[in-house]
Amino acid sequence: MSGKGLMPRDLQRWRMRFVMALIFGGFAALTARAAYLQGWQNDFLNKQGEMRVQRIVEIPAHRGMITDRRGDPLAISTPVESVWLNPREAEAAPRQIQALSSRLGVEPDELRAEFKDKGKAFVYLRRQLPPEVAAAAMALNIKGVYSVPEFRRYYPAGEVMGQVLGVTGVDDKGLEGLEYAYQSWLAGKPGAKRVVRDRLGNIIEVLDQQRAPKHGQDLTLSLNLQLQYLAYRELAAAVAEHKAKAGALVVLDARTGEVLALVNVPTYNPNNHATMTRDSSRNRVVTDSFEPGSTMKPFLVAAALEAGVVTPETRIDTGPGWFMVGEKRISDVHAKGIVDITELIKVSSNVAAAKIALEMKSEDYWTLLNRAGFGAPPGSGFPGEVGGRLRPYESWRPIEKATMAFGHGLSVSLLQLARGYCAFADDGILPRLTVLKRGDAALGVRVMSAKTARELREMMETVTQDGGTAPQARVMGYRVAGKTGTAHKAAKGGYSADKYIASFVGLAPVSDPRLVVAVMLDEPGGREYYGGQVAAPVFAKVMAGALRFMAIAPDAPLEDVPAPSGVVGEAT
C-alpha cells in the first residue's frame, strides 16, 4: 500500500514542474521577443505607431474672388465644413444617431444604413455646412464621424449675374459660365500638414506643414455691376410687359471692346442650384443664334458704298412695295415709293435693300460681313460662343442674295451683332472683345473706311427721329443712332407667320460714339411685336443710364424727348 501512495505524489511533482517550466518558458519567450523587437524592430514599430496616430491632412485653398470693374464682389468663397463617416470604425447608440439626424437634417433610417455598411471606409453625410452646424454634430463625439474644412461659393448679385458667372460644384470646380471658363485661374492648389489624432479622430497636435496651400487668383471683369442691375431690371420688365418667351441684352464699350453688361431673361439664382434649368441657364447673348432681320441693312449699305455700287444720293424706286425674284416675292409692309439710301435705312425698305444686293457682287457683301465678325465666334472669353451661319458666297442664289440684304438666310448671336455695330461706332474698326477689365483700346480690325462708318451713323440716326422705325430709342441730351429688326422666326418648312424676333441695336453719342447696346426679345406675345415698339424703349432706358454712369458728355440739347407721333414698323 505504501508503494501505491508514492505514485500520485511523483505525478503531482512532475505536473508542478511542467507547469512552472511552461510559465518560465513563456516569460523567456516574451523577454526574447521584447528584446528582439526593441533591439532589431524599433524603427519599424515606431513607424507603425506613428501611422496609427499621425495623418497627412489636406489644407484647403480658397478659390479666387471675382469682382466687377470697380472692385465690387461678384463671387466669393466662404468657409464651410463637411461631415463624413468611416463606417468600419463607427459606433453610435440609437439616441446618438437620432441626435445626429436632427443636427445634419438627414433621415435617421438613412444614417443607420450608412453606419451599418461596413464595406465602406468613407462616405459624406452632409457637404458644405455652416461651421456652427458641423460643430454641433461633432459635439456628439460619435466614433467614426469626422469633419473637414471646405469652401462654398457665394454670389452676392444672385440672379442678375446668373448666366455670366455660372456656378461651381460641391468640389469647388467651375461648372458653368466664367467659373468654368477661368477654372485654372481661379482654382487654388490645396496644401498638406502632418497631425496627430486621438482615438475619436480629433486633431490634438499639428506636427508640421508639409505644403502650403496656393490660393486661387482673383479675376476682375469688365462688367459694371450697377449697369448690370439696370439692364436686368429693364429687360425683365419688357419681357413681362410684352409676354415674350425670353430676352437678351448686351452693352459694349465700342473703343475698348469691353463687355460692360450682359443679361438674359429667364435666369436663375446661382446660390440655389435648384433654380437651374436648361432654359434658365442659357446665356442667350452668347450661345443662341437667330436671323437678325433688318439690323443687317446697315452692313449691306456699307458694303455697297465701299464697292461703289451706290452713293448716299442714290435713289431707288421701290415701285408698288414689292417685286419678284424668280418665283419669290420681296415686299415692304407699306409702299415706300422712291427712296434714297438714308431713307432706305430710316424706313427699313426690304425692296430697296434687295435691289441693291442684286446689283452687287456677292463677294463684296460677304467680305464685309466676314470682316465684321459674322460666321465666327466673337472671342469674348465666354464659354459656348456660337459663330452663327454665314455660307460661302459662291453658293448664294439670287433669292438668297436678296433676302440676306435684310437679314434672312444667315444667323448671328446678339454678341456678334453688337460687336459688328462697334465698327460703325469706332470709324470702321472692329474691336477685340473681352469680358476682363482692359481699360485701353486694343488693336482691332478695319471693316470699312472711316468715311463709310460716319455716313452710316448719320443714316442710322434718322431711324430714331420722327418718321423712322424707332423714335422710342431717343435719349434726352444725346444723339442716338441704331437700327430695328423684326424677323419672322424660322420654322419647319419656312417661317412662322406669328412668331417674331424683335431687336434693336444702337450707339451713342453719335458725335463721338462710346457705347453700343443690343436688345433682343424672343417671341413677344402681346399686340406689339416690332423692334421699334418692344426693343427700342429698353435700349433707350439702358443707354441713358449707361451714359450717366460713365459721365459721358451730352451732344444734344437737354430737353425732354417728345412722344413719337407714330411708329413705322418693319417685318422682314
Q: Is 102 domain-assigned?
A: no
How many domains are contained in the chain? 2
Structural domain of 209: 56-96+117-220
Which residue, 205, 220, 235, sits at the end of a domain?
A: 220
Average confidence (pLDDT) over 122-143:
90
pLDDT recorded at residue 235: 98
pLDDT recorded at residue 59: 66
pLDDT recorded at residue 67: 98
Whether 302 and 201 map to the same domain: the answer is no
Give the closest residue to 249 by CA, choosing from 233, 237, 261. Answer: 261
Write the CATH number for 284.
3.40.710.10
Whether 209 and 300 map to the same domain: the answer is no
Confidence of residue 438 (pLDDT cuts 50, 70, 90): confident
Q: What is the pLDDT of residues 29-68, one digit of tens each?
A: 777 776 665 666 565 545 555 555 566 666 667 799 999 9
Check: CB of residue 92 under 8 Å from CB of residue 142.
yes
Element (H, E) at 211: strand 203-211
Q: Choosing from 222, 294, 348, 411, which is the catalytic residue?
A: 294
> Rounded distance, CA 254 to CA 430, Å?
8
Whether 131 and 232 map to the same domain: the answer is no
Least confident segment among 114-118, 422-426, 515-519: 114-118
pLDDT recorded at residue 205: 52
> Of all residues in the chain, what percent carry a pLDDT higher than 90?
66
* Residue 3 pLDDT greater than 60, yes or no: no
Whether 319 and 460 map to the same domain: the answer is yes
Give the closest residue to 404 by CA, choosing from 424, 390, 415, 417. Answer: 390
> Of all residues in the chain, what percent carry a pLDDT higher than 70?
87
> Rounded distance, CA 414 to CA 428, Å?
19
Average confidence (pLDDT) over 530-551:
96
Q: In which region does residue 166 sit, left (phi positive, over 0), alpha (psi from -120 to 50) or beta (all else)?
A: left
Active site residue 102: no
Check: CB of residue 100 under 8 Å from CB of residue 142.
yes
pLDDT recorded at residue 565: 47
> Rounded distance, CA 102 to CA 139, Å?
13
Whether 180 and 229 map to the same domain: the answer is no
- The pLDDT mean for the chain works out to 88
**Which of 1-15, 18-32, 398-412: highest mean pLDDT?**
398-412
Whether 239 and 283 map to the same domain: the answer is yes
Least confident segment among 38-52, 210-224, 377-391, 552-566: 38-52
Q: Is 112 domain-assigned?
A: no
DSSP 456-511: HHHHHHGGGSTTSS-GGG-BTTB--EEEEEEEEEEETTEEEEEEEEEEEEEEE-TT
Whether 197 and 342 map to the same domain: the answer is no
> What cell was used for 37?
523587437
Q: What is the pLDDT of residues 293-302, one digit of tens each?
A: 999 999 999 9
Confidence of residue 368 (pLDDT cuts 50, 70, 90): very high
Check: CB of residue 561 under 8 Å from CB of residue 538.
no
Least confident segment among 117-131, 245-259, 274-288: 117-131
Whether 170 and 236 map to the same domain: the answer is no
pLDDT recorded at residue 146: 87
> Rounded distance, CA 88 to CA 51, Å?
17
The β-bridge relationship of strands 203-211 and 191-197 is antiparallel
Q: Is 571 domain-assigned?
A: no
466 C-beta neighbours (distance < 10 Å), count: 12
Q: Is 435 domain-assigned?
A: yes
DSSP 284-327: HHHH-EE--GGGGHHHHHHHHHHHTS--TT-EEE-TTSEEEETT
Helices 297-307 and 414-425, packing angle to 10 deg: 40
pLDDT recorded at residue 1: 47
Q: What is the pLDDT of residues 466-494, one digit of tens each?
A: 999 999 999 999 999 999 999 988 877 77
Cis status, amide bond into 149, omega within 30 of 0: no
Check: CB of residue 227 under 8 Å from CB of residue 393.
no
pLDDT recorded at residue 44: 55
Element (H, E) at 143: none
Q: Is 141 exposed, middle or buried (0-12, 13-18, 19+ CB in 10 A)?
A: exposed
> Rounded distance, CA 563 to CA 569, Å?
16
Rg of the chain over Cα atoms, rounded to whole angstroms, equals: 37
pLDDT recorded at residue 567: 47
Least confident segment among 20-24, 98-102, 392-396, 518-522: 20-24
Q: Cell 469680358, residue?
A: 435
pLDDT recorded at residue 15: 76
> What cell was used for 397?
442664289
Check: CB of residue 244 under 8 Å from CB of residue 270.
no
Write the CATH number for 148.
3.90.1310.10
DSSP 554: P
More confident residue, 403 or 6: 403
Q: Is 134 domain-assigned?
A: yes
pLDDT recorded at residue 26: 78
pLDDT recorded at residue 505: 98
Taking CA atoms, 284 is separated from 250, 349, 379, 400, in Å, by 10, 28, 15, 26
Average confidence (pLDDT) over 217-241:
97
> Rounded distance, CA 554 to CA 557, Å?
8
Element (H, E) at 385: none
Average confidence (pLDDT) over 153-161:
96
Q: What is the pLDDT of residues 273-323, one digit of tens each?
A: 889 998 999 999 999 999 999 999 999 999 999 999 999 999 999 999 999
